[in-house]
Amino acid sequence: MPYPITFLITDLISEVYGKKKANQMVTTGILASFFSLLIVLIADATPAIENSPIGDELFSSVFGATAVAVFASMIAYLLAQYIDIQIFHFWKRVTQGKHLWLRNNFSTFFSQFVDTFAVLFLLCSFGKISWDIFGALLLSGFLFKILIAAIDTPFLYAGVYFLRKKFGLKGSEEIGSLEDITQPI
């Protein structure tokens, strides 16, 4: 449920801090996710102590089987977030910093489709879900994410307004562009 909101956050960071910071945030997030996955895999491989209320079988059935799904989701997330940032900044150049709603929604709609397609494709390829439900899951997942993206647009405007005011930014100015200007050569 909260996953589509990450695209709102990425667009907010892109708009105010710039493309470089948004890419750094995505990379940091995916590294943290890989670290978390590693911890789960190690915990799954480690036997439970004798008096543990949760045995190895239960732990493995809950956490062990999710490694492929989590990995597929992380790869899809990484791909979709980088695409989102690229498209967002493409539309920012095309609109000359205007029409925030357009770049937020166009970048998110396309990248959410890529994400939904990629994760389902990987899950079907690894045999975790059946190919016969691929289309239905793709459509329902994508429509849900589009709905969230449309709903989050006012929150993006509010966040951008607040951060621009806080940092004294004008128009479509980004904090990253100010740092580039003020850095000594």
Give all domains of the chain, ordered by start, each with its CATH number.
5-171 (1.10.1760)
Residue 181 has pLDDT above 50, yes or no: no
Residue 179 has pLDDT above 60, yes or no: no
Residue 183 has pLDDT above 50, yes or no: no
Q: Residue 137, class by beta-carbon neighbours within 10 Å (0-12 exposed, 13-18 middle, 19+ buried)? A: middle
Note the pLDDT of residue 176. Answer: 67
Note the pLDDT of residue 120. Answer: 93
Q: Which of 100, 67, 101, 106 is nearest to 84 (CA)?
A: 106
User: In which band, very low, low, confident or very high, does the pLDDT at 185 lie, cut at 50, 70 and 90?
Assistant: very low
- Reported as a single tens digit per residue, the pLDDT across 1-53 is 567 788 889 999 999 999 999 999 999 988 988 898 888 888 888 898 989 89
Q: 3-state class of 145 per DSSP?
A: helix
How far apart CA 145 and CA 115 sit, in angstroms, is 10
- Reported as a single tens digit per residue, the pLDDT across 94-150 is 999 899 999 999 999 999 999 999 999 988 998 888 999 999 999 999 999 889 888
In contact, 74 and 33? CB cutoff 8 Å: yes
